[in-house]
A and B are shown apart, each in its own frame.
Chain A
Amino acid sequence: MFKETPWVRRKFAVERLVASLFALMAAAMIVPLLLVVAHLFWQAWPSLSWEFISAFPRNNLKEGGIYPAIYGTFLMVAISLAITAPIGILAAVYLNEYARDSWFTRIVNLAVVNLAGVPSIVHALFGVGAFVWITGRPCILAASMTLGIMTLPVIIASTKQSLAAVPMAFREACWNVGASRWQTIRTIVLPNSISGILTGVILQVSRAAGETAPILFTGAVFFRRELPQSPLDQSMSLSMHLFSIATQGGQVPLSIQYGTAVVLLGLVMAFNLGSIVLRIYFRTRKKW
C-alpha cells in the first residue's frame, strides 16, 4: 500500500496552503465590488424612485429626476456604437484575415496600439479640434465620435483576438476545397468568433457610457431644459451630470448624487449582463 512519507505529507500541506492563499486573493475581488454597491445603494436610497429616472431635474438640480441625462448617455453611446462597431470589426477582419506582414499593416497595428494608450482627456482635446470643428459646435454627434475614437482601438484589438482564436486548420480546410477568403470568413470564421467579438464591443460600450472627459467639451452640457431633438444638439449625460453635481460644493443633496451614480453603475452593469447573455447564447452554438 501507498505509504505517506514525511516528504509527501509536507507536499500536501504546502499544496493546501498555496491553494487557499490563491482562493483568498480571488475572493478578495468580490469585497470591493460589494462594498461599493452597498455603499452607493445605502446613500442613494432616499432619492431612488420611478420619478428619479423618468423626470427632469427641478429647482436647480436639487430635486426631481435625471431622465435627460440617462437619455443623453444612451444616445451618445448608441451613436458611437453605430459608428465604431462596423469600422472596428471590419478593420480587424482585414488585419487578421487578409493583411500580410508589410510596412502598411505594421503602421496600422502600431497606430492601434498607440491609440489605445492615449488618455481620455487627450481624446477630448482631439475631439474639440476635429469633430467639434467639423460640426461647428459641441453636439451629441461630436461627443459620440470622440467616444468612438477612444473605444475603436480596443474594439479592433479584441476583435482581432477573437478571430485569431479560430484554429488556422479550419481556414486551410476551407481554402483546400476552393472557398475564397471571404466565403471562409463568412461561413466559418465569423460564426465561430462572433461571441468574443460582441463581448469585446459591449465591454467598450459600457466603458464609453462611464467616461466623462471625452464628452466634457464636445457635446455634454451641465443642464438643458428639453431633450435633444437631433444629434446636432447638445445633451446632458449621466457621467457629466454626476461630475457637475458632485463638484458643486454640497448644494445638491447627497442622495441625488449617489442616485445618479447608482443609475450609471446600473446602466454599465446592464450592458455587461447583456454581453454575458450574448456570450452564453453564442457559446451554445459554437461548434468545436
Chain B
Amino acid sequence: MNTGNIAERKNPGLSRLGYRLLDNAVTRALASPLSVDDYLSQFNPLWSVSEVRGRITRTVRETADAVTLHIRPNQHWQGHQAGQHLVLGVEIGGVRYTRCFSISSAPATQGEITVSVKRNGNGLVSNYLVDKAQAGEILHLSQARGDFLLPQDEAPLLMISGGSGITPLMAMLRQRAALGGSGSVVFVHYSNSYADTLFYGELRALAARCDWLDLRLVIGQGTPIGEDRRGLFSIEQLDELVPDASARTALLCGPPPLMERVNEAFTARGWARPAQEQFQVKLAAVAGEGQVRFVKSGREASGEAAPNLLELAEGQGLNPPSGCRMGICHGCKCRVQEGQVRDLRNGEVRTVRDEDIQLCVHAAAGSVQLEL
C-alpha cells in the first residue's frame, strides 16, 4: 500500500511498471483478503492493477438522440481494431449497469476512444448516457472484443448500416480515411432523417474528400438530396444504388429488422451472407417452463415467471452478478447443477449438468437447479 512514490503521476494512471510493482505476491498478501485494487481505487478511481477503467474527457452531441463519449482509458487498455466493441459499466444512482457498445473511433487516436450512443427507447443506460453523462465520470471497461473487422484485402466493400449500427462501420471508415487504401467503399446508411443521422457532417465531408468512398444515405422522412433515397431497404433499391453489389464484400450492422431484410435478400440472390455485428440480440420469445430451484438461497420459482433465468432470479430478490443482458459479456455466468435449459438465441433446448451458463440468454425448459 506504499503509493507515495508514484502518486505524483497524473491520470490516466500509473505506468505499467508501477502496476507491476504494486501487484505481486507480497502486496497481495499485505492486502489480503481484500485486493490491491480495493486500496488503490480509493486514491484514484482509475488506478487498478489489472482492470481497464476510463474517464470521460468530453461529450459531443451528435443528434437530438445521440451523443459521442470521448473516453481516456487507463494503462491497461490494449487498443482495439476498427469494428470491435467493448463492455462498458457506468454508475447510475450508485448502481453499476453494464452494456455493450461499438467503438466509433479509429484505432490509435491519441490515447482516446469514442463510443457513440443513441437513445434506445426507454432504456435506462442509453438515456442516461445521452442526457446526463458528463466529462470526468469514471467508466468500467472491458478490453475490445469482437471479430467484425475491416477485411485485410483490398477488395471493394459494401457497407450497409442502420441507425446506431453505423458506429462500428464508422470506425472502419475513419481508419480507411486515416491510413488510406485502394479498394473502393460504397457506404449505404439507413436512418429516420438527415437530422437523425449520426456523423452526418463528417460523412458528407469524407465523401467529398475521398474518391474511394461513395456515400448513399437512405432516409425515412424528408426529401433526399442528390443520389440519396427514401424508404426501407429493398433489393431493387440496392440494385439501383449499388449496381456492382454482388462483386463487393458486404459488411452489415443495424437494427434486427434491417439485418433480417438484408440477409434474406442476399440469400435469395445466392450471394454470400454479409459479415455482420448484431447489437440487439433477437431472442426467442418462448416462455420458460418447469420449476427452477435456487440451491444456495433455498428459493424456488416457476420458470414461466420471467423471460430468462437472470430476470427470474432477480424476481426472487436475488442479485447475481450480471452485465450486458444480451449474451455477450458472460458477466452473469452461473453454475447449473442439473436441468433443462433453452438457449434463447437459437431456441435450442439442452440438458446441462455442472455447467456454467449465461443466465440472461437462457430460460428454464424443465426443472433446473441453479447455484444461486
A-B interaction: no
